[in-house]
Structure 1
Amino acid sequence: MKALVVRGGWEGHRPIEATSLFLPFLELSGFEVRIFDSPAIYADKSVMSDTDLILQCVTMSSIERDALAGLREAVAAGTGFTGWHGGIADSFRASSDYLQLVGGQFTTHPGIIASDRKGDESDNFLTYAVDITPLGRDHPITAGIDDFELTTEQYWVLHDDLIDVLATTTHPVRPWHPWHRPITSPAIWTRQWGKGRIVVTTPGHSLDILENPNVRTVIERGMLWASRTASAS
């Protein structure tokens, strides 16, 4: 089995350190791992046709047309595609074709009350629940995981109904926010795209969140589930 790790974009999500947390797991799971620092590799048809799994951690940034076409074609042909947080759900904002592929797009992470803000990333850290859905209770990625809490960025996601939601998170009504009713966003989802499987996990802003046992388990199981070998079985 062959895995492609593509990392880069905004350095605030520490793409090198974050993906490095999962390299030993991939290798122990039998993957030959290749690492690239640009999505340009997606345009290489020989590499993509030989790839069983793509782990992407590229926040924002941009992607060329031929690279995006290569990614979409590879996934449709059976290559698995997965990642976490902004590395997959906030990649290539200017590309509508990428957004369609993934099925959900980060729009914001609500912050704490203005009077308590310090001017650093903690201004956007809230304690929130990740709630496993009925589908998620029985899914191989999330089975046996109970609802859990995190204190980190809580992603507000725009999405379509082609995704299969394994876990949600609800943004409550707070006096300093303008919405007038709770908003539920997908927190973990899968997506079938042609013959390929996609898995998105929205928690993962920092290394400590990626090392949370629940989050790490979901990401590791998601990589195995999404891989071409698993999807073909």
Structure 2
Amino acid sequence: MRRPTNSAIEQYYFGLFSSHYALPAGRIEYADKPDVILHGERRLGIEIANLYLVDGSDRTSEQVQGHRRDQVMGRAQSLHRESGGRDIELWATFDPCQPVSDIESLARKLAEIAMRVENSAGRVNPLTFVHVPELHSLFHNGEEYEDAKWRPNQGYTVPLLSVDRVRELVAGKTAKAVGYDKGCEAFWLLLVVEYMDPAQDQFIEWPDGAALAKSPFERILIYKPQFGQVVEAPQAAM
């Protein structure tokens, strides 16, 4: 299945946002730099970005680690089958304090462990994989399935909103604002938090007394679509 384009994702979130927030009247134009232009009494540009907990360039970020865990599980299952292993399903929980770096090496270790335990069932004794620090727990039920699939099984806690992370993202968008459509009379920044994505999910209540530095954005709005929550981040006066 082809991944939606960034433009399609932005339009999807803006459509939801417009149903939860009272926008000025006007004609909506989907564009680029900024992502949306609202033609009304004034020309309002709205830039849209997802508010991730950690920048995706960090190898320990959930964006990176989630993908690597999926790769490890898929590769390990292939290796297990190539070695004549049974078509069991296996679930692994990874230790977030031990980021996955070498996908192939970890997959081979996991496939070797699976071969040793495939005829048992239930939670795998941690002593079986004590030599693999990236693994926190393993479980399988011993049954074979035609469409068996190995999966990561992570648990997550939902953190409070990080003002520093919002500042970091606003600073990055501020640096790019010089390239925005000069015909706009004002700009807003819409930061989306997708609660279904553990790389983004967080409480969005703004902490008392905190404020951002003044930016080119008239409003900085944090939006959690599935809950219809919209919070405005205050900015210091000039």
- TM-score between the two structures when normalised by the length of structure 1: 0.31
The structure with the largest strand share of the pair is 1
Structure with greater proportional helix content: 1
Higher alpha-carbon Rg: 2
What TM-score comes out, normalization by structure 2 length?
0.31
